Amino acid sequence: MDNARSGPYVQIFRPDNFVFGQSGVGNNWAKGHYTEGAKLIDSVLDVVMKEAENCDCLQGKLTFPV
């Protein structure tokens, strides 16, 4: 994430669209999905909704797990 925020492609990412959590999940998928991910979902959906509302003609959306 630091590379996306300060690397060579910094101009294509809006800083207000980054959503971060403060705790780690220790490579535990279930904890990331059910506990930590559940805490972040509202923030993520707000960012997605804001970007979708700014579009004139939204054709679709791709979501990739990171």
Q: Domain of residue 9: give its range.
A: 2-19+27-51
pLDDT at position 47, please?
Answer: 92
Residue 46 lies in a domain: yes
- Distance (Å, whole) CA 43 – CA 36: 12
Residue 63 lies in a domain: no
Residue 66 lies in a domain: no
- Distance (Å, whole) CA 30 – CA 28: 6
Residue 44 lies in a domain: yes
Residue 62 lies in a domain: no
Q: Each residue of 20-56: pLDDT tens digit?
A: 877 777 777 787 778 877 888 899 899 999 999 999 9
Instruction: Please give the tally of structural domains in the chain.
Output: 1
Q: If you average pLDDT over residues 57-65, what whole number do you get?
A: 83
Q: Each residue of 1-15: pLDDT tens digit?
A: 777 788 888 888 888
